[in-house]
Amino acid sequence: MSAQTCFRDFEQDALPHLNSAYNLARWLTGNDQDADDIVQEAYLRALRFYHGFRGRDARPWLLKIVRNTYYTWSRQNPTGRFTDFDEDSAISDRDLANSSLANPEEVLMRKSGSLLLRRALQALPSRSREILVLRELEEMPYNEISAVVGVPIGTVMSTLSRARARLRQSVTDLTNAATSPEAESDEAPGASCSDAPCALSRSELPVRAK
């Protein structure tokens, strides 16, 4: 196979999954800039080793490379730099608090832009977070998640169950804090976070994309 043919085949196999790769990297890193860097490095690695790819669906293979690239990056950048990335489809924290959906993972599947939900996800261990994102956002089957994360299917299922429970509790706690009387007082005319204790600082309140 010529280098040109290999590159063309790689583009056909890999580029359709670019959004999935970016989504995983963004939820793992917590910000857009690092996610861009990780995806770029992951795709360079994938191209370098593409000659050894023998599967039909490149998505699990690519996401495993993205995941491994993230963990290499995280060892080199232990503090990270979590920021509240913007999304045009973002819903507000008040929308989440008033949601009639049964659980936060349903919110995650429908609208992943809530600030509270993002913070709740970031509070999860990396393993729990990545499995939850792969299942709920990417809708990957358990066997593919197992291949990406490198653990047995049973471990995927048990980790997912615990991650859902922890996410649900974290979203509930953050929602209660955001809608508490102390937090509401921050909205009063002339009030500020220095006037009364606030559950969330002003910098943490949602900002709608313009």
**Cβ 44 vs Cβ 53: under 8 Å:** no
CATH number at residue 13: 1.10.1740.10
Give phi and psi for 127, each to the nearest 5. -60, -45
Give me 15's structure tokens. 């580029």
| Tens digit of each residue's pLDDT (9 = 90 or more) over 125-144 | 889 999 999 998 899 999 99
| Tens digit of each residue's pLDDT (9 = 90 or more) over 142-153 | 999 999 999 999
Query: What's the N-to-C CA distance of the chain in angstroms?
Result: 48
* Distance separating alpha carbons of residues 69 and 130, to the nearest angstrom: 13
| Tens digit of each residue's pLDDT (9 = 90 or more) over 102-112 | 455 555 545 55
Give me 124's structure tokens. 């999860």
Residue 66 and residue 100 in one domain? no
Range of the domain at 69: 1-84
CATH number at residue 103: 1.10.10.10
| Tens digit of each residue's pLDDT (9 = 90 or more) over 62-113 | 999 999 999 999 888 876 554 444 333 333 444 444 444 445 555 554 555 5
Number of structural domains found in the chain? 2
Burial of 74 per CB tally in 10 Å (0-12, 13-18, 19+): middle
Residue 63 and residue 10 in one domain? yes
Whole-model pTM over 0.85: no
Give me 198's structure tokens. 């606030």
